[in-house]
Amino acid sequence: MQFYLIYSWLLRASRSCFTVPLCVLAFAAAAANPAFAQTISVGDVAIVEGDAGTTSAQFAVTLSSASANSISVQVGTADGTATAGSDYVAQSVGLTFLPGATTATINVPVNGDTISEPDETFTLNLSNPVNVTIADGQGVGTILNDDAAPPTAPNLTATVLAGATVTVPLTPGATGGPFSAATIVSSLPVEGGVSTIVGAPNYALQFDATPVFEGVVVVNYTLTGPGGVSDPATVTVTVQARPDPSTDPDVRGLLTAQAQAAQQFAQSQMDNINRRMAALHDESCRQFLANTVQLSGPDADGGTERLSTPQLNELCDDGAQKLGLSMWTSGSVDVGSTHRAGEAGRDSIAYNLTAGVDYRFSQRFVGGISLGYSTDSSDIGTNGTTSDGEAISAAIYGSFMATPSFFVDALIGYGSFDFNSRRFDTSSGAFGSGDRDGDQFYASLTAGYDTQLRAWKLTPFARLSGSSSILNGFSETGAGEYSLAYGRQQVDSFGGSLGFAASTDLALEVGTLTPRLRLEYMHEFEGDSSVDIRYADLPEGLIYNVQTQAFAQNQVTLGLGADLHLNNGMRLGLDYTGNFGFEDSRRHGVRASVGGQF
């Protein structure tokens, strides 16, 4: 380059002289003002690209000083991180400075776009200088990105029970907001559930799982922000199947306990009324606060002698005095236990009270009405599941002596009840609580024969009894997604009994004591029931069925008790009843009764 400059300088000097003196002067002038002593430079430039069209990047090309001669240079662009054609328009031109000029501008068109990308560069290069020295021959053009970066969407996970709904926020952890849209690209498999975008601008995925699906659902989605649309991200939803509640021991134990309690409400009232009718068979006279008790035993001739205590035969000669009203009450406390495979055991205590008024229409027939109240408190299993119920009822009854020894007793009644339950849920550890009500009809028919064996009265008997109870459906609360809804439950009970009773009368100073014994075998022909259940938050979900079990199909009842007939006409009774089922169930009851006439 130095050689070239010296050569150019000498050539110009030689062209300006024709004689030696002139040449000396020319060389002196050229030395005083040489053209190659001037330099040329190009500056850097930065420009915002824009969103469309082109914008000029203006490079300034300058001379260090003015020249008396024309100066030229070749100008051309070269790629850096920017690419000619897509990012800018390539240039290759010659640039000439006329004498006296010191600046020039080179325009490079920059293409606008809406793609977010890093800042990019290209260069403008000077070459082939004429009459000038290149001092800075490269200018850097920087294309400044003015587009927002595209959003990034996070990959997320969630877990939900079958048939339930889960909401997954999509914007926390995402970049490139604020967001103007969220879009579901796919949700597979489609049978797993329904995916929905909710909650602009803080978008979330709402996933409603299918009640019958179990497995994994992958939801692909995108977010839209100022920088465009994100790449698809995923929400992986694990759908867990809900446990089958029909196999839960506490569920089965609760339903069985309430079915048995409904049966027991009816049976306890029938027991109280039947005991009252049994006491009517030997009634000889009715009078205010007079309780006539018949004593029986062998006479001197080997026959049977009957004696009334107190002696009121003369008072009852008037037939009207043998008729009339009588009021009575009877109550019992029954403690029971049932333990069967596949369900939580039941330990219960029940209180039963019956009060009635009856009227003797003739020596052969007594009819009456009664009101009853019963409660049941059952502990089911060992996790705290409980059921508490109460019932009220009314009944009519009648006792008919077809002959002095053969009798027929009948009753029919109606009752209503309600239960309050608290069930332990084994899946969540929470308790589901609920209330249900219902009503029932019950009836009993007994036929027997009174006979005398020395001082003992023996009464073989046969009995048919039954009840039909409707337990209305209800839904639990408190156990969240594990709360259950129970359908209507019908419990029909029908059984037959064969047994005998024995009693004798012992005269005391205060009245008469009548100890008694009863032994009875009962076969339950019908008593099981069926109830549909489902999860309370899934009205259209799977329906499960539970078969409840009645009391033991075959039972033996042992009864021991005594009545004390006081001389003032009052009657006090106390009984123990043991009920022993052949299928791991048993009940023990203590019964007290009070009677009087008016």
pLDDT tens digits for 306-344?
333 333 333 454 444 467 888 999 888 888 887 777 677
Strands (DSSP E) contained in 71-180 are 71-79, 92-97, 103-111, 120-130, 133-136, 138-144, 156-161, 165-169
Which segment, 169-173, 281-285, 302-306, is predicted with the most confidence on average?
Answer: 169-173
What pLDDT score does 515 carry? 93
- The count of domains in the chain is 3
Select the more confidently predicted residue: 340 or 455: 455
In this structure, is residue 299 part of a structural domain?
no
Expressed in percent and rounded to 5, the helix, strand and coil fractions of the chain are: 15, 60, 30
For residues 221-241, give the mean pLDDT. Answer: 94
Tell me, what CATH number does 63's domain have?
2.60.40.2030
Distance separating alpha carbons of residues 7 and 71, to the nearest angstrom: 17
Kind and range of the H or E element at 272?
Answer: helix 249-280
pLDDT band at 303 (very low <50, low <70, confident <90, very high): very low
Select the more confidently predicted residue: 223 or 25: 223
Q: If we measure between CA atoms, which residue out of 597, 598, 553 comes closest to residue 579?
A: 553
pLDDT at 30 over 70: no
Q: Which range is least confidently modeled, 22-31, 245-254, 518-527, 563-572?
A: 22-31
What pLDDT score does 155 carry? 97
Do 126 and 75 contact (CB within 8 A), yes or no? yes
Do 73 and 132 contact (CB within 8 A), yes or no? yes
Share of the chain above pLDDT 70, in %: 85
Tell me, what CATH number does 188's domain have?
2.60.40.10
Question: 251 and 173, same structural domain?
Answer: no
**Average pLDDT in the chain:** 85
User: Do the bridges between strand 45-48 and strand 138-144 make them parallel or antiparallel, or are there none, so unpaired?
Assistant: parallel
In this structure, is residue 220 part of a structural domain?
yes
What pLDDT score does 551 carry? 65
What pLDDT score does 583 carry? 57
What pLDDT score does 474 carry? 96
For residues 200-229, give the mean pLDDT. Answer: 93
pLDDT at 37 over 80: no
Domain of 49, in residue numbers: 39-144
Do 543 and 516 contact (CB within 8 A), yes or no? no
What pLDDT score does 17 carry? 44
In this structure, is residue 17 part of a structural domain?
no
Question: 249 and 229, same structural domain?
Answer: no
Which segment, 7-11, 274-278, 294-298, 525-529, is predicted with the most confidence on average?
Answer: 274-278
For residues 88-103, give the mean pLDDT. Answer: 94
Chain position carrying tokens 């600046």: 103
Show Cβ contacts of residue 288 under 8 Å, excluding neighbours closer than 6 positions.
Answer: 569, 597, 598
Question: 582 and 523, same structural domain?
Answer: yes
Select the more confidently predicted residue: 484 or 147: 484
In this structure, is residue 537 part of a structural domain?
yes
pLDDT at 376 over 90: yes
What pLDDT score does 576 carry? 86
In this structure, is residue 3 part of a structural domain?
no
pLDDT at 530 over 50: yes
User: Do the bridges between strand 571-581 and strand 585-597 make them parallel or antiparallel, or are there none, so unpaired?
Assistant: antiparallel
What pLDDT score does 313 carry? 35
Question: 379 and 464, same structural domain?
Answer: yes
Share of the chain above pLDDT 90, in %: 60
Q: Which range is least confidently modeled, 5-14, 102-111, 149-158, 454-463?
A: 5-14
Question: 160 and 103, same structural domain?
Answer: no
What pLDDT score does 586 carry? 72
The token pair at 523 is 């076969």
Distance separating alpha carbons of residues 255 and 343, to the nearest angstrom: 10
In tens, the pLDDT along 575-586 reads 888 877 765 667
Question: 404 and 472, same structural domain?
Answer: yes
What pLDDT score does 574 carry? 87
Question: 250 and 231, same structural domain?
Answer: no
End-to-end CA distance of the chain: 148
For residues 233-250, give the mean pLDDT. Answer: 94
Tell me, what CATH number does 539's domain have?
2.40.128.130
pLDDT band at 550 (very low <50, low <70, confident <90, very high): low
Question: 226 and 105, same structural domain?
Answer: no
What pLDDT score does 292 carry? 33
Show which of 217, 240, 263 is a domain's final residue. Answer: 240
In tens, the pLDDT along 462-499 reads 999 999 999 999 999 999 989 999 999 999 999 999 99
User: Do the bridges between strand 215-225 and strand 233-240 make them parallel or antiparallel, or are there none, so unpaired?
Assistant: antiparallel
What pLDDT score does 29 carry? 39
Do 469 and 491 contact (CB within 8 A), yes or no? yes
pLDDT at 11 over 80: no
Q: Which DSSP symbol is given to 314?
A: T
The token pair at 589 is 């009851």
